[in-house]
Amino acid sequence: MIKNIFCVLLLLFCLCTVVLGQVSGVDSIAPVYVGGKLPKVLFDTKSKMLIDGVLSEVSLARDFDKLILIDFWASWCGSCLKKFPMLEKIQKQFPDDLKVLLVNSVGTGDSASSLMQKVRMGAAAGAVGGIRLPLVVEDKMFLNAFPHRALPHYVWIVGGVVLGITQSDFLTEENVAVMVERGRKHMMIVNKQKARGAKD
């Protein structure tokens, strides 16, 4: 009897260890704050993304060296939508140094299909229809990394390091230009350090 109980407990322990060991990726991402380094999974994991009305899966791996500006938004958030034209303008202004990523997380009431329909409708669907920037839909990963209570919510990242977390009053063309320049300098320093390390 004691042997059977011991075997059952051992089996349960092994099962729990296997199940807990499989929890990875999106669900295991802890919040990241200013000055914190993003886990590699945030760059490698593909997110559902709408690009020009087409739904695909894309990662941020290619954008590691750029200033990544994450904009958490929802279709019902007027102050979020007001910033879209400026975000598109600055993305065009800094195509090699900036990645603007519009993130629509779970819980906003928006779905991938409703947003896809609005984007495809174009200007007739209002500000959402005019979006030409990459749009992450039904997001959980970025929401886990950057929990927030208000929209819009902006996260500024360079080289995997969070440089800032702000609200809409900080998002100006001048501040983006300053952060892009800061990002360039940061990546020059990182690349020099890598080059030194490779020589040693």
**pLDDT tens readout for residues 138-156:** 999 999 999 999 999 999 9
Q: Among candidates 23, 36, 22, 24, which has minimal Cα distance to 146?
A: 36
What pLDDT, in 10s, does the model give residues 64-104? 999 999 999 999 999 999 999 999 999 999 999 999 999 99
CATH number of 28-199: 3.40.30.10
Q: How far apart are CA 8 and CA 64, in angstroms?
A: 47
pTM above 0.75, yes or no: yes
**Assigned token pair, 147:** 């929990």
Q: Which residues of 14-39 are buried (b: 16+ CB within 10 A; e: fewer)?
A: eeeeeeeeeeeebeebeebeeeeebb
CA pair distance 118, 110, nearest whole angstrom:
11
